[in-house]
Amino acid sequence: MTTTEYDVIVIGAGPVGENVADRVMQGGLTAAIVERELVGGECSYWACMPTKALLRSAAALRAARQLPGAREAVTGELDVAAVLSRRDSFASNWKDDGQVSWLESAGIDLFRGQGRISGERTVEVTGGGTVTTLTARHAVVVATGSSALVPDITGLRDARPWTSREAASAKRVPARLVVIGGGVVGAEMATAFTALGSSVTLLARDGVLPLAEPFVGERVIASLRAAGVSVRVGAEAVEVRRNPDATVRVTLAEGGQVEADEVLVAIGRTPNTRDIGLDTVGLEPGDWLAVDEALRVVGAGDWLYAAGDVNRRVLLTHQGKYQARNLGDAIVARAKGEPADTGAWGRHAVTADERAIPQVVFTDPEVASVGLTAAAAEAAGLRTRVVDYDLGRVAGSSLHAEGYQGTARMVVDEDRRVIVGFTLVGPDVAELVHAATIAIVGEVPLDRLWHAVPSFPTVSEVWLRLLETYGR
Ligand SMILES: Cc1cc2nc3c(=O)[nH]c(=O)nc-3n(C[C@H](O)[C@H](O)[C@H](O)COP(=O)(O)OP(=O)(O)OC[C@H]3O[C@@H](n4cnc5c(N)ncnc54)[C@H](O)[C@@H]3O)c2cc1C
Ligand SMILES: NC(=O)c1ccc[n+]([C@@H]2O[C@H](COP(=O)([O-])OP(=O)(O)OC[C@H]3O[C@@H](n4cnc5c(N)ncnc54)[C@H](O)[C@@H]3O)[C@@H](O)[C@H]2O)c1
C-alpha cells in the first residue's frame, strides 16, 4: 500500500471530474483523478457523443430531402454501416488513450480503479491488484456521475434489457425495438433507431418530453409517428419476458403485449454512489449527494464536494462542466485563503443551474430550451406573459426548408420585463438557443432587445417577431 498526497482528489474522470481537476491545476494546485472505467466518462463513450453521431447523418439526409434541388441529388438510402462506423470513431472506439494523454499534458495524475472515501480527506483506490491511499490537503470532489435506472418491472432484469449504454454502442440495428420511457433518451433513441431501420414502439407512460412546453411533445410525437414509430402515450410496461427465441415480450398495464427484438429502458438515472465509501462520512450509500450553494456535500465535512450528475442539480454535460469550472476556481481561492464568491451570479456561484439551464434534444424536429416553461414560471409565482410565434412564418425558415414547421415561445417576467424562459421546436433550432441563454443570464430588458437586430433572412428573425407580438 502506498500513500500519496495532493491538494485535490477527484473521484470520477467524466467531463465534470476532468474539468474540476483542470481548473485546480490551472490555479496552481496539484490534482489526482481516480477512474474505474474510461477517462472521459459516460458522455464520451455511451451518451452525448455516440448518440448524437447516431442521429446526425439521418438528420442531414432529412434536411436534404426537404429541399428541391438537393432532394434530387439524394439517390440512396442511409448507409447504416457508415453511420455506426462514424459513431465508433466519435466514441474513440471505446479507448481512452486520447483523454489519458490530455490528463498527462495537463499535469493531472491518473489512478485507475474504484475510488472510495475512507475517512476525512482520504480516498482509497482499488485497482490492478493494488490499493493506493490518496490524501487531499484541500478537497475531495465526487464526480462519479450516474447510471441508467432499471425499474422493478417483473422480469425486466432477467430479460437483459438495453440501457442507454447498449443503445449508444449498438453494433447492429434490431429489427424491432421497444422503448420504455418518453423522456430525452427515449425520444432521441426512438428517433435514431427508426431512421436506422428499426420498427420502434415507444411506451411513453407520462407523455413524450413531458417536462417541456406542451407543444414540444405534440410536434415530436407527430413527427415520430410520421416516421413510422408507434408512440403509445399512457402505456405502462408491467412485465417483460425474453422468449426462448431471444425475442422480448412486453406486457402493458392496459392489456395487450408488444413483441420486439430488444427492449430499451430509458426512465431516468441512478447516482453512482453505492460503493464510494459514503458510510465512512455518515452518509447513505446509493443516495444522490445533496449539496449547498458552494457544491459542498450536505452532512459531510467542509472538504467534501460533489459536482455533475451525482449531485442531481442538472443532468447535463455542459451544466456539470460549468459547476466544475466554478467549483475548481473556488477551491483554488479558498486554498489561497481568499473567500469564494458564491453569491448570485458570483464568480464561483452556480446560479445558472437555477435560472438558465439550456438543453437541446436532438429529435426530429429539434427541441432547444432554456430557463422556465410557462407552467414552471407560473408555479414559481411569477407574473408572466407568454408569447408564441409560428416559426414557419419567418422568412429564414421558409428558405431553410420547404414546409418548415416549428414554434417559438418566450416567457416574460412582467414585473421585470425580462425573459425567463425560451423554447424552440423545429428543424435545426439547436444553434438558436444560445441567444436566449444570453438574454436570460444577462437579464436584458425587452426594451433593449429591440436593439438586438437579427440578420435577414435567418431563422433568428423570430426574435423580432416575438417582440412585435409582445408589443412595445
Ligand atoms: C444517452 C444519453 C445521452 C446524453 N446526451 C447528452 C447530451 O447530448 N448533452 C448533454 O449535455 N448531456 C447529455 N447526457 C447527460 C450526460 O451524459 C451527463 O450529464 C454527463 O455525462 C455527466 O458527467 P459526469 O462527469 O457528472 O458523470 P459521468 O459522465 O457519468 O462520469 C463519471 C465517471 O466517474 C467514474 N466513476 C464512477 N464511480 C467511480 C468510482 N467509485 N471510482 C472511480 N471512478 C468512478 C465513471 O466510470 C465515469 O467515468 C446524456 C446522457 C445519456 C444517458
Ligand atoms: N440531448 C440531451 O441533452 C440529453 C440526451 C439524453 C439524455 N440526457 C440526460 O440524461 C438524463 C436521463 O435521461 P432519461 O430519458 O433516462 O430520463 P428523463 O428523466 O429525461 O426521462 C425519463 C422518462 O421516463 C418516464 N418514466 C419514469 N418512470 C417510468 C416508468 N416506470 N415507466 C415508464 N416511464 C417512466 C418519466 O416520466 C420521464 O418522462 C436526463 O436527465 C437528460 O438530462 C440529455
* pTM of the entire predicted model: 0.98
What is the average pLDDT across 317-325? Answer: 98
> 15 C-alpha to center of ligand 2: Å?
20
Q: Phi and psi (nearest 5°) for 103?
A: -55, -45
Ligand 1 mutation target, pool 125, 144, 185, 323, most atoms within 8 A of CB? 144
In the numeric block, which cell numbers belong to residue 333?
481561492
Q: Does ligand 1 come within 6 angstroms of the Cβ of 207?
A: no
What is the average pLDDT across 210-230? Answer: 98
What lies within 8 Å, CB to CB, of 75 at 6+ separation is none
**Counting beta carbons within 10 angstroms of the beta carbon of residue 31, is it exposed (0 to 12), middle (13 to 18) or buried (19 or more)?**
buried
Distance CA 201, CA 262 (A): 11
The length of the chain, given as a count of residues: 472
Q: Which atom of ligand 1 is nearest to the CA of 165?
A: 1
> 307 C-alpha to center of ligand 1: Å?
11
- pLDDT tens per residue across span 440-459: 999 999 999 999 999 999 99
> 319 C-alpha to center of ligand 2: Å?
17
Three-state SS at 3: strand
Q: Does ligand 2 come within 6 angstroms of the Cβ of 210?
A: yes
DSSP 139: E
Helix axis angle, 214-226 relative to 184-195, nearest 10°? 20
Neighbours of 403 (CB within 10 A): 9
Ligand 2 mutation target, pool 180, 184, 270, most atoms within 8 A of CB? 184
DSSP 265: E
End-to-end CA distance of the chain: 70
In the numeric block, which cell numbers belong to residue 236?
405502462
Distance CA 144, CA 16 (A): 9
- pLDDT tens per residue across span 165-216: 999 999 999 999 999 999 999 999 999 999 999 999 999 999 999 999 999 9
In the numeric block, which cell numbers belong to residue 141?
470532489
Tell whether the model's pLDDT for residue 1 goes beyond 70: no
Mean pLDDT of the chain: 97
- pLDDT tens per residue across span 273-295: 999 999 999 999 999 999 999 99
pLDDT for res 301: 87
In the numeric block, which cell numbers belong to residue 410?
418566450
What element of type H or E holds 299? none
Q: Does ligand 1 come within 6 angstroms of the Cβ of 277?
A: no
Which residue has a Cα nearest atom 19 of ligand 1? 316
In the numeric block, which cell numbers belong to residue 266?
430509458
Which residue has a Cα nearest atom 38 of ligand 1? 144
Q: Does ligand 1 come within 6 angstroms of the Cβ of 145?
A: yes
Q: Phi and psi (nearest 5°) for 5?
A: -110, 135
Q: Which atom of ligand 1 is nearest to the CA of 310?
A: 26
Distance CA 174, CA 263 (A): 10
CA distances to 7, 181, 186, 454 from 323, in Å: 19, 28, 26, 31
Binning pLDDT at 50, 70 and 90, where does residue 159 land?
very high
pLDDT for res 370: 98
Contact indicator for 162, 186 with CB cutoff of 8 Å: no
Contact indicator for 261, 177 with CB cutoff of 8 Å: yes
Q: Which atom of ligand 2 is nearest to the CA of 208?
A: 39
Which residue has a Cα nearest atom 26 of ligand 2? 267
Q: Which atom of ligand 1 is nearest to the CA of 15?
A: 25
What lies within 8 Å, CB to CB, of 422 at 6+ separation is 369, 370, 371, 408, 409, 410, 411, 433, 436, 439, 440
> 424 C-alpha to center of ligand 2: Å?
19
User: Which amino acid appears at position 153 of this protein?
Assistant: I
- pLDDT tens per residue across span 54-68: 999 999 999 999 999
Binning pLDDT at 50, 70 and 90, where does residue 3 land?
low
Distance CA 145, CA 287 (A): 12
Q: Which residue has the cell 450528475?
A: 309
Neighbours of 151 (CB within 10 A): 12
In the numeric block, which cell numbers belong to residue 166?
447498449
Classify the complex by whether its ipTM is higher than 0.85, answering yes or no: yes
Three-state SS at 273: coil
In the numeric block, which cell numbers belong to residue 431?
444553434
Q: Does ligand 1 come within 6 angstroms of the Cβ of 318?
A: yes
CA distances to 108, 160, 215, 387, 466 from 462, in Å: 45, 46, 17, 11, 6
What is the average pLDDT across 26-34? Answer: 98
Question: Which ligand number lies closest to the CA of residue 217?
Answer: 2
> 114 C-alpha to center of ligand 1: Å?
16
Distance CA 354, CA 35 (A): 29
* Nearest partner of 434 among 451, 452, 416, 447, judged by Cα: 452
